[in-house]
């Protein structure tokens, strides 16, 4: 894999880069967030490994800017900020995984490999529709009753996953895997938070609810019955 490591501590950067190179990957180091943002807009990478506390542009802002620029490269935050709120901030900024320092190198490799194994989308439809709710994947637009709904990138992905599974109950674990590519429980309320935000946008302004909570099981989206 071609990996961009955004880390300003020389010893840490050298340690990680040497380990990744020994594991058969190609690792490039950038110390500054602004330089990193410029680099990822001009050259493709398989994965980004980003420290949150970097000069120029902090890691959180870097990933947010990348997502705003439609750069979908998986991003793993590798940082000493280990609080629950820190992890939630990282995920909501567009991060795909979060690993705190100090860390086991074997775990870093395992998580990077998991990010690289993302399955391709099987359903190639670019427009999904349930009742009066329409999601256009190509245009990144959502409408209900002809009214435009503004969604954040992760909310858009969550809605897409739910709509592709129309009528089926998706568990919290399934959503963590398909939306955040987590194959473990991050011990946060990130799913519940995003479901609440999504419901406030696609259901509450309208008469009939499409997104439903199945108690003790998960979530399901379907047309009114």
How far is 7 from 151, CA to CA, in rounded Å?
Answer: 31
Q: Could you tell me the domains of the chain?
A: 2-116 (3.40.50.2300), 127-221 (1.10.10.10)
pLDDT tops 70 at residue 61:
yes
pLDDT tops 70 at residue 99:
yes
Q: What would the pLDDT profile of 108-149 be if each residue is shown by its tens digit?
A: 999 998 888 765 444 456 899 999 999 998 889 999 999 999
How far is 93 from 1, CA to CA, in rounded Å?
Answer: 23
pLDDT for res 122: 47
Q: Among residues of the chain, what percentage have pLDDT more than 70? A: 96
pLDDT for res 82: 83
Half-sphere exposure of 101 (CA within 13 A, CB side): 16
pTM for the whole structure: 0.56
Please spell the DSSP secondary structure of 90-150, one letter per residue.
HHHTT-SEEEESS--HHHHHHHHHHHHTPPPPS---SEEEETTEEEETTTTEEEETTEEE-
pLDDT for res 155: 94
Q: What would the pLDDT profile of 209-220 be if each residue is shown by its tens digit?
A: 999 999 888 999
Reading the block at residue 6, the tokens are: 């955004």
pLDDT tops 90 at residue 184:
no
pLDDT for res 108: 93
């Amino acid at each position: 894999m071609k990996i961009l490591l955004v880390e300003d501590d020389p010893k840490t950067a050298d340690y990680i880069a040497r380990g990744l190179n020994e594991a058969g990957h190609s690792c490039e180091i950038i110390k500054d967030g602004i330089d990193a943002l410029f680099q990822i807009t001009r050259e493709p990478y398989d994965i980004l490994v980003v420290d949150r506390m970097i000069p120029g542009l902090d890691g959180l802002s870097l990933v947010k800017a990348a997502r705003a620029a439609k750069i979908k490269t998986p991003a793993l935050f590798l940082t000493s900020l280990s609080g629950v709120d820190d992890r939630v901030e990282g995920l909501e900024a567009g991060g795909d995984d979060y690993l705190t320092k100090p860390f086991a190198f074997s775990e870093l490799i395992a998580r990077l490999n998991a990010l690289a194994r993302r399955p391709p989308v099987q359903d190639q439809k670019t427009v999904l529709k349930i009742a009066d709710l329409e999601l256009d994947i190509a245009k990144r637009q959502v409408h209900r009753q002809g009214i435009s709904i503004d969604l954040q990138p992760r909310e858009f992905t969550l809605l897409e996953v739910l709509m592709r599974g129309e009528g089926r109950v998706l568990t919290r674990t399934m959503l963590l895997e398909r939306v955040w590519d987590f194959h473990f429980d991050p011990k946060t309320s990130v799913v519940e938070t995003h479901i609440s935000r999504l419901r406030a946008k696609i259901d509450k302004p309208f008469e009939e609810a499409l997104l439903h909570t199945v108690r003790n099981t998960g979530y399901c989206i379907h047309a009114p019955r």
